[in-house]
A and B are shown apart, each in its own frame.
Chain A
């Protein structure tokens, strides 16, 4: 993992008429890094993702990938949409083949099919390859969406809250799968989520967004837990609760105080529990609960 940012977002702003949804959004993503963004509804997370995907344009600011500015959709960036967005008239096989043929138009039928089967197997849907989306459960559909995004071997993967509509058990299994696949492929990922635990499990760094209007990426939380973390053992790591408390505190109290552009334009990177001093100006009040005691243990 190089220190050079593979993806750079600089001064991104979105306005609708007079209302500013977000402004001065700055952050970077390194090659092979998994970054989650968390924030309340309406802060413009999906808009940021759409700008990265090239589906929407910002009012101001620039996004660079590999030192080239993003100016429209590209096969370099795969997107997993919130509502799976599979084409209901095509089978799983043909849904993924649609994407594969877009990336490699000169491939033969056999080549495409082989590639499709490989990625269907990757998400464990071999048995359902010739089924239509309507015959699949919500979790299976989202798996197909993930397989489709991975199948074009994008340089960057964008996930728009992909597990939002799934039940907790399914969500856990697919999270594990995503973690495994990303570990194998060293995929660079940008993902929107509302789920704090999901962010801690998956992300290397978590971008915290303040509330709108004039939302910003207010802080970047480093996930200090080892990368081979597992869902089953995650909560035994003392770092887990320090990070979790920090995220929840932000979402409950600080995100609101930092709306209307009160968040810093250049977010600070913090490692909860490992930083020497908490920031007195951004902390609303001294933490009465285990946040402080844990910090002493570390």
Chain B
């Protein structure tokens, strides 16, 4: 116990150290960027003349805008983080919403698409897992459809559904469905024969057998599929929202890139990472709850 505790402590210490090093590198790198921006006046008179003709004034206040649009320093990053966390839910029109609000949109889409996928994949996986005939019949379709990038469906979805938001949900659906389907089928197909025999000799009804024997027996495998699906869905939502636009954390990233606001982009990246981790953690918990020791 003492050893594991000290191991955890040491690992935490090392993590903190790595974080400090990364921050220090960031700090040093952005410090050296500032003099480069300040070196703007070292232009030849012709270049200055040309810049003036293009409507820019390289001599006046060159440092300030360069620092604003360039890679942020740690201090700038800090203020952006504080500002975003202070009011995550503000809404100043379509192009200026708080990060919390955008995150809500994304989570809503992922949740809905994922739920629909689960509603389709788990029952269908049950059928595939129980019937070798259905398994063989559907296998070629699954094998062809599975490797398609979910974003490749986007034009088709936009054309048929004619609604960008629902198209986003559809893309989440289509990317979450495969791992759940395949894992459910595999889990159901590999339920131990002896448990099924116990159910048979006890004359257990088909419904009770499905819910009280096959489901708990296959639950760890199914949950693994659900966890993989959630990971993929969270990867895909960002790309899908960048493509469709409007709302969501993916759109937020793209919008801030158009605003050339790198601190906001970096902040959004961190938020995406943290939320993805929390989602994964949630599924890890669920997985632990249904896993049994044989």
Bound Cα distance from A75 to B199, whole angstroms: 10
Bound Cα distance from A89 to B294, whole angstroms: 8
Known: A87-B216, A87-B217, A132-B292. A77 touches B201 (CB 8 A): yes
Known: A73-B203, A87-B217, A89-B216. A81 touches B198 (CB 8 A): yes
Bound Cα distance from A75 to B202, whole angstroms: 5
Q: Which residues from chain A contact B290 at a C-beta distance below 8 Å?
A: 89
Contact of A99 among B202, B216, B217 (CB under 8 A): B202
Known: A81-B194, A132-B292, A134-B293. A87 touches B213 (CB 8 A): yes
Check if B212 is an interface residue, CB within 8 A of chain A: yes
Bound Cα distance from A83 to B192, whole angstroms: 11
Check if B143 is an interface residue, CB within 8 A of chain A: no
A contact face: mostly helix, strand, loop, or mixed: loop
Check if A63 is an interface residue, CB within 8 A of chain B: no
| Contact between chains at A89 and B204 (CB < 8 Å) | no
Bound Cα distance from A74 to B201, whole angstroms: 6
| Contact between chains at A75 and B197 (CB < 8 Å) | no
Bound Cα distance from A77 to B197, whole angstroms: 13
Q: Which residues from chain A contact B201 at a C-beta distance below 8 Å?
A: 53-55, 73-75, 77-79
Check if B195 is an interface residue, CB within 8 A of chain A: yes
Bound Cα distance from A88 to B212, whole angstroms: 12
Check if A85 is an interface residue, CB within 8 A of chain B: yes
| Contact between chains at B202 and A55 (CB < 8 Å) | no
Bound Cα distance from A78 to B219, whole angstroms: 28
Q: Which residues from chain A contact B212 at a C-beta distance below 8 Å?
A: 98
| Contact between chains at B198 and A88 (CB < 8 Å) | no
Digitize B211-237: 1 where CB-to-A-CB distance is under 8 Å, 0 elsewhere. 011001101000000000000000000
Most chain B beta-carbon neighbours within 10 Å: one of A88, A90, A132: A88
| Contact between chains at B294 and A134 (CB < 8 Å) | yes
Check if B10 is an interface residue, CB within 8 A of chain A: no
Give the residues from 109 to 156 in chain A that come closer than 8 angstroms, CB to CB, to chain B. 132, 134, 152
Bound Cα distance from A102 to B200, whole angstroms: 10
Question: Which bucket holds chain A's interface residue count?
Answer: 20 to 34
Q: Which residues from chain B contact A77 at a C-beta distance below 8 Å?
A: 201
Q: Which residues from chain B contact A81 at a C-beta distance below 8 Å?
A: 194, 197-198
Bound Cα distance from A78 to B202, whole angstroms: 8
The minimal Cβ–Cβ distance linking A75 to chain B, given in whole angstroms, is: 5
Q: Which residues from chain A contact B217 at a C-beta distance below 8 Å?
A: 87, 89
| Contact between chains at A88 and B293 (CB < 8 Å) | yes
Q: Which residues from chain B contact A87 at a C-beta distance below 8 Å?
A: 195, 198, 213, 216-217
The minimal Cβ–Cβ distance linking A127 to chain B, given in whole angstroms, is: 20
Known: A81-B197, A81-B198, A98-B212. A88 touches B204 (CB 8 A): no
| Contact between chains at B292 and A102 (CB < 8 Å) | no
Most chain B beta-carbon neighbours within 10 Å: one of A54, A98, A132: A98
The minimal Cβ–Cβ distance linking A260 to chain B, given in whole angstroms, is: 31
| Contact between chains at A102 and B197 (CB < 8 Å) | no
Q: Which residues from chain A contact B198 at a C-beta distance below 8 Å?
A: 79, 81, 85, 87, 99
Name the CB-closest residue of A to B293.
Answer: A134
The minimal Cβ–Cβ distance linking A45 to chain B, given in whole angstroms, is: 16
Give the residues from 72 to 108 in chain A that come closer than 8 angstroms, CB to CB, to chain B. 73-75, 77-79, 81, 83, 85, 87-90, 98-99, 102-103
Known: A89-B216, A89-B217. A74 touches B203 (CB 8 A): yes
Given pairs A75-B203, A79-B201, A87-B198, 14 additional interface contacts (CB within 8 A): A73-B201, A77-B201, A78-B201, A79-B197, A85-B195, A87-B195, A88-B293, A89-B216, A89-B290, A99-B202, A102-B203, A102-B208, A132-B293, A134-B292
State the 6 A-B residue pairs at the shortest beta-carbon distance, nearest first. A134-B293, A102-B202, A85-B194, A89-B292, A88-B292, A73-B200
**Could you give 19 example pairs across A and B, Cβ below 8 Å?**
A73-B201, A73-B203, A74-B201, A75-B201, A75-B202, A75-B203, A79-B198, A79-B201, A81-B194, A81-B197, A81-B198, A85-B197, A87-B195, A87-B198, A88-B293, A89-B217, A89-B290, A102-B208, A134-B293
